[in-house]
Amino acid sequence: MTAAPAALPVSSGPTPRSGAAGAPASPVLPALQIGRHTVGSPVVLAPMAGITNRAFRRLCREYGDAGQASLAGTGPNHSLYVSEMITSRALVERTPRSMQLIEHDPDETIRSIQLYGVDPATVGAAVRMLVSEDRADHIDLNFGCPVPKVTRKGGGAALPWKTDLFRAIIASAVKEATPYDVPVTVKMRKGIDADYLTFLEAGRIAEGEGVAAVALHARTASQGYSGEADWSAIKALKAVVTSIPVLGNGDIWSAQDALDMVAATGCDGVVVGRGCLGRPWLFTDLAAAFAGTTARVQPTLGQVAQTMRRHTEYLIDFHGSEFKACRDIRKHIAWYLKGFPAGRDIRAGLALVDSTAALDDLIAGLDLEAPWPGDPAEGQRGRAGSPRRVALPDGWLDSRGLNAASAAVVAQAELSVSGG
């Protein structure tokens, strides 16, 4: 089995199903404007650690662009595809891993990078490097990570509680990016927990400091990915932040979910994370839905296997190693096979695959004619977990300002985050 060409028509992968209203119709939303960039389909691929590398972004782009054109007949309708989170400190130090993570394909027309940082000077230096060396067209700042090793040091979703630090980081990034006309955006959560909400004030601060858009994952850090996203918070943020786009994130598992979010909140676009795991053709559905059509993708197991195989080829190109690529694809296997019939032995073998030859042999053992299973393949993807107490620095919640003790803890935050 060989990889499909990069300019993938949907008919050679998962095939579309068009309803009576499948012809082009009036767009549901206008194009999304992020600074100087016009994003035809108001959809953003959320940064996900270990997922949204160059290989996965390529796969999603194929379905979002070529697939949408085939379905709706309106030509490419680009979405925005953001890199996984990269720590500012590692980028300034030019670690090999961080330099790999900021790589883009030649045809990524909006090179989008998400940065994590807790020190205004370091974030500013990282932004300066990216824009002065022409390595990015859009920079997103991460203030939404709920991982304990990040929040324990005052980073991620914990950071907007310290309004002076939050403001200083954004101001530093915008100052460095503005001369190069590179827009800066912010992604955040509702707050630390139900008692310590930060999103409304954070949205006002971000807007005032000149960001081009704000995205809200409508959960708190304490929720992680559990429970339901509170879409009413997105609506509330939209009422407060009026001069720039407000994007909604959380519980978009299908194109209909995206349409429902827009209807419920009035948001200007959507950010899709776990909903596209093992399902990159969701970007075909989303582009078609926002173009006003009812065309949707319902692949057979054989077509899903083709996509999984192509994903592996792209990972080989990204990692420069077949073995590393096969180790990487393992975590995607269960997402790709969700709802489909596949024997326990084949699933177990795929979870341990170490070569493309082994992958091909295991794929050959699947019932490749099996149709799209419907509801069993829909809904939540990835682990939801359960609510938990957020790990924070001692005394973090005592004030909204950054005192000496808090500053000392924060200074170590970037050093504690690995992987980029």
pLDDT in tens, 21-75: 344 567 789 899 999 999 988 999 999 999 999 999 999 999 987 555 554 445 4
Place of tokens 């590179």: 182
pLDDT value, residue 84: 94
Going by pLDDT thresholds of 50, 70 and 90, the confidence category of residue 385 is confident
Q: Is residue 2 over pLDDT 70?
A: no
What is the per-residue pLDDT across 263-287, written as a single tens digit (0 to 9) for each? 999 999 999 999 999 999 999 999 8
Output the pLDDT for position 344. Answer: 84
Q: CB–CB of 271/217 below 8 Å? A: yes
- Structural domains present in the chain: 29-298+395-416 (3.20.20.70), 301-371 (1.10.1200)
Provide the pLDDT for residue 414.
65
Q: How far is CA 214 from CA 33, 51, 169, 233, in A?
A: 12, 22, 15, 13
pLDDT mean over 214-219: 98
Does position 418 have pLDDT exceeding 60, yes or no?
no
Other C-beta atoms within 10 Å of 235: how many?
17
Residue 403 clears pLDDT 50, i.e. is over it: yes
For residues 233 and 214, is the Cβ–Cβ distance under 8 A? no
Q: Closest Cα partner for 53 from 88, 94, 100, 95?
A: 100
Query: Contact at 8 Å (CB) between 114 and 82?
Result: yes
pLDDT band at 231 (very low <50, low <70, confident <90, very high): very high
Q: How far is CA 339 from the centre of its chain?
A: 23
pLDDT for residue 3: 37
pLDDT of residue 259: 96
Active site residues: 145
* pLDDT greater than 80 at residue 217: yes
The packing angle between helices 231-240 and 199-208, to 10°, is 40
Give the pLDDT mean for 225-237: 96
Question: Which residues share a beta bridge with 139?
Answer: 113, 184
Supply 376's token pair: 């069993």
Q: Are strands 86-87 and 246-249 parallel, antiparallel or unpaired?
A: unpaired
Residue 77 has pLDDT above 90, yes or no: no
- CB 355 within 8 Å of CB 322: yes
Least confident of 157-171, 205-219, 375-389: 375-389
110-119, 340-349, 383-392, 403-412 — most confident range: 110-119
Instruction: Tell me the two tokens of residue 114.
Output: 């998400």
The type of residue at 250 is G
- Please give the distance of CA 283 from its chain centroid, rounded to a whole number: 12
Assigned token pair, 63: 């379905």
Q: Does position 10 have pLDDT exceeding 90, yes or no? A: no
Q: Give the span between the Cα atoms of 235 and 149, in whole angstroms.
A: 30
pLDDT at 65: 77
Residue 378, class by beta-carbon neighbours within 10 Å (0-12 exposed, 13-18 middle, 19+ buried)? Answer: middle
Q: What is the pLDDT of residue 66?
A: 59
Q: What is the per-residue pLDDT across 111-120, written as a single tens digit (0 to 9) for each?
A: 999 999 999 9
Q: Pick 7 or 164 by higher pLDDT.
A: 164
Q: What is the 3-state secondary structure (H, E, C) of the chain?
A: CCCCCCCCCHHHCCCEECCCCCCCCCCCCCCEEECCEEECCCEEECCCCCCCCHHHHHHHHHHHHHHHHHHHCCCCCCCEEECCCEEHHHHHCCCHHHHHHCCCCCCCCCCEEEEECCCHHHHHHHHHHHHHCCCCCEEEEEECCCCHHHHCCCCHHHHHHCHHHHHHHHHHHHHHHHHHCCCEEEEEECEEECCEECHHHHHHHHHHCCCCEEEEECCCCCCCCCCCCCHHHHHHHHHHCCCCCEEEECCCCCHHHHHHHHHHHCCCEEEECHHHCCCCCHHHHHHHHHCCCCCEECCCHHHHHHHHHHHHHHHHHHHCCHHHHHHHHHHHHHHHHCCCCCCHHHHHHHCCCCCHHHHHHHHHCCCCCCCCCCHHHCCCCCCCCCCCCCCCCCCHHHCCCCCHHHHHHHCCCHHHCCCC
Q: Which of these ranges, 9-23, 89-103, 272-286, 294-308, has the smallest mean pLDDT?
A: 9-23
Q: How far apart are the first and last CA of the chain?
A: 33
- Cα 192 to Cα 334: distance, rounded to the nearest angstrom: 31
Query: CA gyration radius for the chain?
Result: 21
CB-based burial, 65-74: b 16+ in 10 Å, e otherwise: bbbbbbbbeb
What phi and psi, each to the nearest 5 degrees, are found at residue 153?
Answer: -100, 10
- Per-residue pLDDT, averaged over 221-244, amounts to 96
Which pLDDT score is estimated for 26?
72
pLDDT for 4:
37
Pairing of the two strands 269-272 and 246-249: parallel
Exposed / middle / buried, residue 253 (Cβ in 10 Å: 0-12, 13-18, 19+): middle
What is the pTM assigned to this prediction?
0.90
Instruction: Give CA separation, 58 vs 61, 135, 141, 167, 387, in Å.
Output: 5, 17, 22, 34, 33
Q: Over 60: is that where the pLDDT of 417 sits?
A: no
